[in-house]
Structure 1
Amino acid sequence: MNYNSDAEAIDAFSKVYEDVRKEISTVIVGQNEVVKSVLISIFSNGHCLLVGVPGLAKTLLVQTVASVLDLSFNRIQFTPDLMPSDIVGSEILGEDRNFKFIKGPIFSNIILADEINRTPPKTQAALLEAMQEKSVTAAGITHTLSKPFFVLATQNPIEQEGTYPLPEAQLDRFMFHVDLGYPTFEEELNIVKNTTGNVKHQTKHILNGEQISFFQDLVKKIPVPNQVLEYAVKLVAKTRPQTDYAPELINKYLSWGAGPRASQYLVIGAKCHAAINGKYSPDVEDVQAVASSILKHRIVRNYKAEADGLSAESIIQNLF
């Protein structure tokens, strides 16, 4: 893709993002913030954790995004008996008496890891390693995953019996934690109208993998003013109790704060948020726009916060 300047490329990116969003909205009714978070994750080369009750079209959302972006898509249903080889792949003995590697479903551009907390830690770790390294190793041989590579993992907030909650160190691998709520009455009315008839909408391909990789690189190149960079890092530093930057609220209600990866994601997320809105550089408002979804799964509330009914989101809002 050839543009005369980065500014021209950002203008094109902003327009393409709007085209992608509109095309997705022809299938996905409402959930505008969820769609925006998923797209920012993709263009920031990150991953997304989606939390919502069953039946809120999480699978349809990912399928639609994959179709509009012209990317390959695989859905993996996580269960207690799922093994790492079921995700990554395994070596089998071929007819020529030589071992050959059979690729697992992880070898796709977009992966829907459905109910990731229902599989044991060993299998969770296999997925999370692939997310971090963008490659998998089998029998001592490293296999590179497709580019772009994006994981959207889902968790069901109810029915927690027999689940394996992701530890904080593994949650930290996800750029965004997005809560998926119920649709409004009008939205649900439209959903029922659109899905109970014979009409099927075919989405158009707006982008492809090569163009997505170009825009991912473009987002990285966007300059960040020093004051915005300092604001993002200081915001993360404020979440760490018993440190110099921590306000009394944090010392009282948090037992653990966010790590340096949160600062990295805040800056790259702010860059992408600015670009999709046609801005050539992020400001403080762009950092704040992505802060809640980036920070809320990286802070650990103590019993006082739970007793006083303080959510992670409300604590983060207080930091602004």
Structure 2
Amino acid sequence: MASDVSAGTAAGTAAQPCDARAQIDALRARMGEAIIGQRDVIERLLIGLLANGNLLVEGLPGLAKTRAIKALARNLECDFSRIQFTPDLLPSDVTGTEVYYQAEGGSEFRFEPGPIFANLVLADEINRAPAKVQAALLEAMEERQVTVAGTTHKMPPLFMVMATQNPIEQEGTYPLPEAQMDRFLMHVNITYPPVEDEVEVIRLVRGEEIAAQAPAGTAPADTPAPIAQTAVFEARRGIAGLHVSDQMERYMAALVNATRVPEAFGDDLKRWIEVGASPRASLALDRCGRTHAWLAGRDYVDPEDVRAIVGDVMRHRLGLTYEAQGEGISADAVVAEVVRQVALP
């Protein structure tokens, strides 16, 4: 038995013709006005949205992780949901549960959807909840559905999970299992912005505070209408049709295969890699590479598209040896060496 639980603006109506590229460019520009100094995060969010994938975003507190996805949700026609992961959270707090209703005409169990049923879902500090709660996201992230009490409930057509985690303060956290890490299309690292951008952040937030203190009844500044979901679906159709040459397909597969047979690419990789990337890495390189090319205005994928996103696609899919960890070798350094060793097409 299956049922559809569509969040309010789930794009169930027929798509209207639209200039998808112009609207996605407008969405990127609006997000850039709200988030200063995190251009890579904006681009990765858009790639995740257009490639129909989920993102794991890691960075120190205060680096605009939550602000980024809120800016996306504010400027896109969608329902947004935020789940704060804590140690006492239950799986039903995420997925929803069956509730017993009794009335004069009889009684019945009804499914009450949880916060996972939205278009954009922010799973904040996902590693602060135990494994059984993290696992509640698995089916939704991969199969785009949730099964409760034997009934399958479909997610809305536009659905993306952006999970965040803090690389410090690991006491009391529950590391994500490899199976769930692999379900994230990309693992994005956020770093501190340069001084010039931080000055702009100060000015931006100060301006928002001034606007919030405006007297009651003051007419707010005109805000543009949110970008329609049809633009996202139209963009996805264009991305699906992008040309990928045989040489580029082999290049992506060769990058992933190099992590499985590191001994063929030098002693360093052999010492550093214990477990190579899964086939999901190849699929992610293809999807993200095509999306990156489309955002750049090209109708074909070239090596620079793959190299631009290979770190985000691979860093969470590699198992490093104790020797690599002891030497302080990061997953990014390993990916960089893989890219250096694998010949360009």
Q: TM-score, normalised by structure 1?
A: 0.92
Question: C-alpha distance in 2, partners of 1:260/1:144?
Answer: 25
Aligned-residue offset at 1:184: 1.8
Aligned-residue offset at 1:307: 2.7
Structure 2: give runs of 5+ residues left out of the alignment: 1-14, 213-220, 340-345
Q: Is the 8 A contact 1:254 1:302 kept in 2?
A: yes
Equivalent in the alignment of 1:186:
196
Question: C-alpha distance in 1, partners of 2:155/2:337?
Answer: 40
SS in 2 for 1:30: coil
2:114 is aligned with what amino acid? Answer: G
Once the two structures are superposed, the pairs formed by residues 1-320 of structure 1 within 5 Å of their partners are 12-96=19-103, 97-196=107-206, 197-199=209-211, 204-241=224-261, 245-320=264-339
Equivalent in the alignment of 1:6:
none
SS in 2 for 1:279: coil
Question: C-alpha distance in 1, partners of 2:322/2:223?
Answer: 47
Q: Structure 1 residues 119 and 168 mapped into 2: Cα distance closer, same or farther (>3 Å)?
A: same
1:130 is aligned with what amino acid? Answer: A
Question: C-alpha distance in 2, partners of 1:57/1:231?
Answer: 34
SS in 2 for 1:137: strand
SS in 2 for 1:90: strand
Aligned-residue offset at 1:147: 1.7
Q: Is the 8 A contact 2:21 2:235 kept in 1?
A: no
Aligned-residue offset at 1:190: 1.8
Q: How large is the RMSD of aligned CA atoms in angstroms?
A: 1.8
Number of equivalent positions: 312
Q: Structure 1 residues 52 and 101 mapped into 2: Cα distance closer, same or farther (>3 Å)?
A: same
Question: C-alpha distance in 2, partners of 1:203/1:40?
Answer: 25
Question: Which segment is superposed worse, 178-187 or 230-239?
Answer: 178-187
User: Alpha-carbon deviations, 1:109-142, whole Å to 9, x = none?
Assistant: 0000001101111110111221111111111111
User: Larger Rg: 1 or 2?
Assistant: 2
Q: TM-score, normalised by structure 2?
A: 0.86
Q: Is the 8 A contact 2:31 2:71 kept in 1?
A: yes
Question: C-alpha distance in 1, partners of 2:335/2:318?
Answer: 9
Question: C-alpha distance in 2, partners of 1:227/1:241?
Answer: 20
**Shift >4 Å, 4+ stretches:** 200-203
Structure 1: give runs of 5+ residues left out of the alignment: 4-8
Q: Structure 1 residues 157 and 220 mapped into 2: Cα distance closer, same or farther (>3 Å)?
A: same
Aligned-residue offset at 1:206: 4.9
2:163 is aligned with what amino acid? Answer: A
Equivalent in the alignment of 2:217:
none
Aligned-residue offset at 1:202: 7.2
Q: Is the 8 A contact 1:91 1:100 kept in 2?
A: yes
Q: Is the 8 A contact 2:41 2:68 kept in 1?
A: no
Aligned-residue offset at 1:54: 1.6
Identity of aligned residues (%): 39
Aligned-residue offset at 1:52: 1.0
